[in-house]
Amino acid sequence: MIFTTLVGCLIAVVSSEECWRQRDVLLCDDNMPNEVQAGITIVKIFNVDLNAYLQTDIFQHRSWRTVEHLVLKPDMDSSGGNSLDVETRPSFVLPSTFSDYLYNLVELSVTSENLIGLHKGAFHNLTKLEVLDFAGNVGITLTNFTAALLGNNMDNLKILNISQISVRSPLIRTFGGEFFDCFRSSHLEELDLSKTDSLMIPGEIADALPFLKSINLGDSGYLAANFMAAMYLNPNGRSFKFLRKLNINNALFPDSLTDAKLLLPADSDISATAQLNLTHLWARNCVLDEFESIPFAVSLENRAILYMKYEATNISRPIVALPVDSMGAIPLKVLDISQNGIISMDLNLTAMSRYMEDIDLSNNKLYLMDTSKIKHIFKNTPNIYRINLSNNRLSKLPDDIFSTNTNLEYLDLSHNRLSTLDFKFSHLIKLKVLNVSFNEIHYFEHNMLSRLYFYRQSVLLYSEEFSMQLSGNPFVCSCESKEFLRWILDPGFSNYIQPQNFKCLQSQSQTSISIDENASADAEFECKLTLIIGVCSAVSGTLIIILGIATLLMCRRYRSKRKERKLALFIAKRNDRTADEQTPIFLSYCSENDDFVSNVIYPTLNSSLQKILKTDKTCIATGDLDFRPGIHVAEEIVTCISNCSVLVACVSKAFCKKTWCKNEVFTAIHEQRPVVLILLEEVELSLMPKVLRKHFLTTTRVTWTRHDITPKPDVQTICRGIVQLMAKEQDDSNVIVGNNGCLMSEDGHPSGYHNENAETIL
Q: What is the pLDDT of residue 77?
A: 84
Does residue 594 have a pLDDT over 70?
yes
Q: What is the pLDDT of residue 440?
A: 94
Q: Which one, of 704, 659, 653, lies nearest residue 677 by Cα? A: 704
Q: What is the pLDDT of residue 16?
A: 39
Q: What is the pLDDT of residue 69?
A: 95
Q: What is the pLDDT of residue 745?
A: 39
Quick check: 173 and 202 in contact, CB under 8 A? Answer: no
Read off the pLDDT band of 202 (50, 70, 90). low
Q: Which of 62-71, 285-294, 644-653, 728-737 has the lowest mean pLDDT?
A: 728-737
Q: What is the pLDDT of residue 676?
A: 92
pLDDT in tens, 489-535: 887 777 788 887 888 888 777 788 888 888 888 888 878 777 677 77
Q: What is the pLDDT of residue 439?
A: 95
Amino acid in the structure at residue 226: N
Does residue 652 have a pLDDT over 80?
yes
Does residue 222 have a pLDDT over 70?
no
Does residue 230 have a pLDDT over 60?
no
Element (H, E) at 545: helix 517-576
Q: What is the pLDDT of residue 458?
A: 82
Quick check: 124 and 97 in contact, CB under 8 A? Answer: no
Does residue 589 have a pLDDT over 80?
yes
3-state helix, strand, coil in the chain (%, to 5): 35, 20, 50
**Would you tell me how many other CB atoms lie within 10 Å of the CB of residue 417?**
14
Does residue 307 have a pLDDT over 70?
yes
Q: What is the pLDDT of residue 203?
A: 67
Question: What b/e string do you get for 591-617 counting C-beta neighbours within 10 Å, with b at 16 or more?
Answer: eebeebbeeebbebbbebbbebbeeee
93: which residues sit within 8 A by CB, 6+ positions away? 54, 115, 116, 117, 118, 119
Note the residue count of the chain.
762
* Alpha-carbon gap, residue 699 to 751, rounded angstroms: 5
Q: Which one, of 495, 493, 220, 254, lies nearest residue 336 by Cα? A: 220
For residue 629, whether the previous peptide bond is cis, meaning omega lies within 30 degrees of 0, is: no
pLDDT in tens, 113-171: 889 889 988 898 899 999 999 998 888 888 888 888 887 888 899 999 999 887 765 54
Q: What is the pLDDT of residue 186?
A: 83
Read off the pLDDT band of 231 (50, 70, 90). low
Does residue 346 have a pLDDT over 80?
yes
Q: What is the pLDDT of residue 106?
A: 95
pLDDT in tens, 235-252: 677 777 888 888 888 776
Read off the pLDDT band of 366 (50, 70, 90). very high
Quick check: 396 and 429 in contact, CB under 8 A? Answer: no
Does residue 579 have a pLDDT over 70?
no
Complete DSSP assignment for 465-508: --EEE-TT---EESGGGHHHHHHHH-HHHHTTEESS--EEEETT
Q: What is the pLDDT of residue 759?
A: 30
For residue 499, whether the previous peptide bond is cis, meaning omega lies within 30 degrees of 0, is: yes
Quick check: 504 and 471 in contact, CB under 8 A? Answer: no
Query: How big is the CA angle at 482 (ends 477 and 488), to the nearest 5 degrees?
Result: 85
* Alpha-carbon gap, residue 418 to 394, rounded angstroms: 6
Backbone phi, psi, residue 691, to 5°: -65, -30
* Alpha-carbon gap, residue 263 to 221, rounded angstroms: 12
Q: What is the pLDDT of residue 744?
A: 40
Read off the pLDDT band of 554 (50, 70, 90). confident
Instruction: Average the pLDDT over 617-631 and give the result.
Output: 84
Q: What is the pLDDT of residue 175?
A: 74
Q: What is the pLDDT of residue 743?
A: 40
* Alpha-carbon gap, residue 120 to 128, rounded angstroms: 18
Q: What is the mean pLDDT of the chain?
A: 79
Q: What is the pLDDT of residue 228?
A: 52
Backbone phi, psi, residue 200, to 5°: -130, 160
* Alpha-carbon gap, residue 644 to 662, rounded angstroms: 17
Q: What is the pLDDT of residue 738?
A: 39
First to last CA, the chain: 115
* Alpha-carbon gap, residue 166 to 182, rounded angstroms: 18
Instruction: Average the pLDDT over 722-744 and give the result.
Output: 55
- This prediction has a pTM of 0.60
Quick check: 638 and 626 in contact, CB under 8 A? Answer: no
Does residue 614 have a pLDDT over 70?
yes
Does residue 657 have a pLDDT over 80?
yes
Quick check: 146 and 174 in contact, CB under 8 A? Answer: no
pLDDT in tens, 661-719: 888 888 888 888 889 999 999 999 888 888 888 888 888 889 998 887 788 889 888 99
Q: What is the pLDDT of residue 169?
A: 55
Read off the pLDDT band of 262 (50, 70, 90). very low
Instruction: Average the pLDDT over 544-554 and give the result.
Output: 87
Q: What is the pLDDT of residue 272?
A: 35
Instruction: Average the pLDDT over 179-196 and give the result.
Output: 85
pLDDT in tens, 386-420: 999 999 999 999 999 999 999 999 999 999 999 99
Instruction: Average the pLDDT over 269-285 and give the result.
Output: 34
Q: What is the pLDDT of residue 533?
A: 73
pLDDT in tens, 43-97: 999 988 888 888 888 888 888 999 999 999 988 888 878 777 777 888 899 998 8
